[in-house]
Homo-oligomer: A and B are copies of this chain.
Amino acid sequence: MKLIIDAMGGDNAPQAPVEAGARAARELGINIVLVGKEQVLKNELSRYTYPEDKLEIVNADEVITNHEEPVKAVKTKKNSSLVVAARMLRNKEGDAMRAMGNTGPLLAAGLLIVGRIRGILRPALATLLPTENGPKLLLDAGANTNCKPENLVQFAVMGSIYMKNVMSVEMPSVGLMSIGEEEGKGDDLTKKTFSKLKSAPINFYGNIEGRDVMLGTTDVMVCDGFVGNVVLKTVEGMGSFLGKSLKRMFLKNAVTKIGALCLSSGVKELKQLIDYREYGGAPLLGVRSTVIKGHGSSDAKAVFSAIKQAKKAVETNIVEEIKSSLTKIDLSEKKEEI
């Protein structure tokens, strides 16, 4: 398989994607394409060893910055690393693509260049969250606001396929994010979605609440992208608050520094548990090829995790499985409407 990496996006580009790309070519036996400014990438690449037949550079001179309007940027910057990578993916010059940085341009490239799977109403950005119960998938994490029940049903199906194929969870359970456990609780959207999820081809758990996020009550958490994005950023904010609080606590004085030393292995474990880098990136589900979005601050380790994730998504044929699941969802939808 061949993985296309936009090597210019994110805070640590091009170092992180180049280092991870070289490592992937070396360790995973897959072909890597690094897309970006050729000379910059060549220089960076010279610091690493890698099998030359497994790694190529494709030149792309432009870079989309954080301040550009996403759709416009993707439409006009034809030679940006993101657009070149997405075009290669659409033209089947690679099996999957990995980009990082701002969500907007990646979504735009995914929708406008790679394209939706026919029948998918709105692709969803899914994100793996660390929980007490292992990594769980939250979707939509911000690609779609003002969702309809049909969107959430498709998110539930796509999320289930992802957890089954990439995270090896048998019969992933799906929770509908709401504000009460009972069927009747929630807002108009969740109430309408609940009955549709009951007849969807998934292992539906029922409603979940905010407290279930960190408990990891279900393998998949389904919600409108507004809610999902607020939840995701709240969790990230709590994680960073926790990190800062611990640091302050540890560095207070000589005694607390000894305390920190005594606890170092436990702190490391906790850090690892809530470290997004362990979990790779956020897949954009519902587009015609595997597209993984990395966190803007991804380092080489995070990029490498995302590459492994993309590899598994390709090997387990996520896209094809989503396509074939659509017949099942559509049928149950039509039945309800009759």
Give me the interface of A with B, judged by CB distance under 8 Å.
132, 142, 145-146, 177-179, 186-188, 190, 209-215, 223-227, 229-242, 244-245, 248-250, 252, 255-256, 258-263, 265-267, 269-270, 273
Contact present for B233 and A210 (CB under 8 Å): yes
For the A-B complex with A145-B186, A256-B262, A259-B259 known, give 6 more contacts whose Cβ atoms are closer than 8 Å: A145-B187, A146-B187, A146-B188, A179-B230, A227-B230, A249-B263
Residue from B145, B225, B237, B265 within 8 A of A211 (CB atoms): B237
Of A178, A236, A238, A250, most buried by chain B (CB within 10 Å of CB) is A238
Complex Cα–Cα for A224 and B178 (A) = 13
A282 to chain B, nearest CB (A): 14
Contact present for B263 and A179 (CB under 8 Å): no
Complex Cα–Cα for A138 and B141 (A) = 21
Residues of B within 8 A of A223 (CB): 230
Residue from B179, B211, B229, B265 within 8 A of A240 (CB atoms): B211
A244 to chain B, nearest CB (A): 7
Contact present for A237 and B212 (CB under 8 Å): yes
Assuming the contacts A179-B145, A188-B145, asked whether A248 and B266 have C-beta atoms less than 8 A apart, the reply is: yes
Residues of B within 8 A of A224 (CB): 187
Question: What residue of chain B has the Cβ atom nearest to residue A241's Cβ?
Answer: B214
Residue from B227, B237, B248 within 8 A of A226 (CB atoms): B227
Residues of B within 8 A of A242 (CB): 238, 242
Residue from B234, B256, B262 within 8 A of A210 (CB atoms): B234
Contact present for B187 and A226 (CB under 8 Å): yes
Complex Cα–Cα for A177 and B227 (A) = 10
Complex Cα–Cα for A245 and B227 (A) = 26
Complex Cα–Cα for A73 and B187 (A) = 22
Contact present for A234 and B256 (CB under 8 Å): no
Complex Cα–Cα for A224 and B179 (A) = 12
Residues of B within 8 A of A146 (CB): 187-188
Residues of B within 8 A of A236 (CB): 210-211
Contact present for B211 and A233 (CB under 8 Å): yes
Contact present for B256 and A226 (CB under 8 Å): no
A65 to chain B, nearest CB (A): 15
Complex Cα–Cα for A212 and B229 (A) = 12
- Can you give 20 A-B contacts (C-beta < 8 A)? A132-B241, A132-B244, A146-B188, A179-B226, A186-B226, A210-B229, A210-B234, A210-B235, A211-B236, A211-B237, A214-B234, A214-B240, A231-B231, A238-B242, A242-B242, A245-B273, A249-B269, A249-B270, A258-B258, A259-B259
Of A225, A242, A244, most buried by chain B (CB within 10 Å of CB) is A242
Residues of B within 8 A of A263 (CB): 249-250, 256, 259-260, 263
Question: What residue of chain B has the Cβ atom nearest to residue A177's Cβ?
Answer: B230
